[in-house]
Amino acid sequence: MKLPLLLALLFGAVSALHLRSETSTFETPLGATTLPEDEETPEQEMEETPCRELEEEEEWGSGSEDASKKDGAVESISVPDMVDKNLTCPEEEDTVKVVGIPGCQTCRYLLVRSLQTFNQAWFTCRRCYRGNLVSIHNFNINYRIQCSVSALNQGQVWIGGRITGSGRCRHFQWVDGSRWNFAYWAAHQLWSRGGHCVALCTRGGHWRRAHCLRRLPFICSY
């Protein structure tokens, strides 16, 4: 009588252990797939910070081109409509021709000593001299221009560079549409939070970011 009872109890214990083992095996894969490890972020939640828009949009007006174009040659950019079209051309005594550019017999540059904002200078080069704010593509031209402006009382002059966007979306462009293939930035200027227009220092010839509404002399190419 006792033997069948013991066999029944033993069989029940073995069955219970087997059932528990199967349940544990079933739950383990589910837990591994549904509970990410510490510091793990689902892929759909990892989104890059969107590009910030141009902070100084009012300085460009409606003439700004699509900032999505990469650094390089682009179509010539039109002068913003906000520029006063009644601006008078500078007097001849306020201009100085820059001559003797090494390796460029056809290059013609003009230093205009009248103080104007970036957009005004841009418009003056286009309207009065059928040219553009200067674009600089090598050190020789940069050095020659710096020598021609070193006697100015002003510490900087406008050149034709400008910056669109910010952060990873930042692009450097020449307003004449030529390729951005050379730069001569002063220390810490490239990624500083300065203005969105580029000025050349009259001492040393390095470039600095400047607020576009500043009034500076400028260099035209024509």
User: Is 48 contained in some domain?
Assistant: no
Sign of dihedral through CA atoms 78, 56, 165, 175? positive
What residues make up the domain containing 181?
A: 108-221
In a domain, 76, yes or no: no
For 162-209, write each residue's pLDDT tens digit.
999 877 788 999 999 999 999 999 998 877 778 999 999 999 999 999
Query: Residue 33's pLDDT is what?
Result: 37
Taking only the tens place, the pLDDT of each residue in 157-173 is: 999 999 998 777 889 99
- Longest Cα separation, the chain: 129
Residue 160 included in any domain: yes
Separation CA 68–CA 94 (nearest Å): 38
Asked whether residue 100 is assigned to any structural domain, the reply reads no
Q: Which CATH number belongs to the domain containing residue 152 in this structure?
A: 3.10.100.10
Please, how many CA atoms are within 13 Å of residue 106, restricted to the half-sphere of its CB? 0
Question: Percent of the chain at pLDDT above 70?
Answer: 59
Give mean pLDDT, residues 120-134. Answer: 96
Task: Classify residue 89: in a domain, yes or no.
Answer: no
Residue 77 lies in a domain: no
Write down the pLDDT at residue 54. Answer: 38
Q: Is residue 121 part of a domain?
A: yes
Q: Report d(CA 58, CA 60) in Å as an integer.
A: 5
Q: How many domains does the chain have?
A: 1
- Alpha carbon 75 to its chain centroid, in Å, reads 18
Tell whether 30 is covered by a domain: no
* Confidence tier at 143 by pLDDT (50, 70, 90): very high
Mean pLDDT across 27-49 = 36
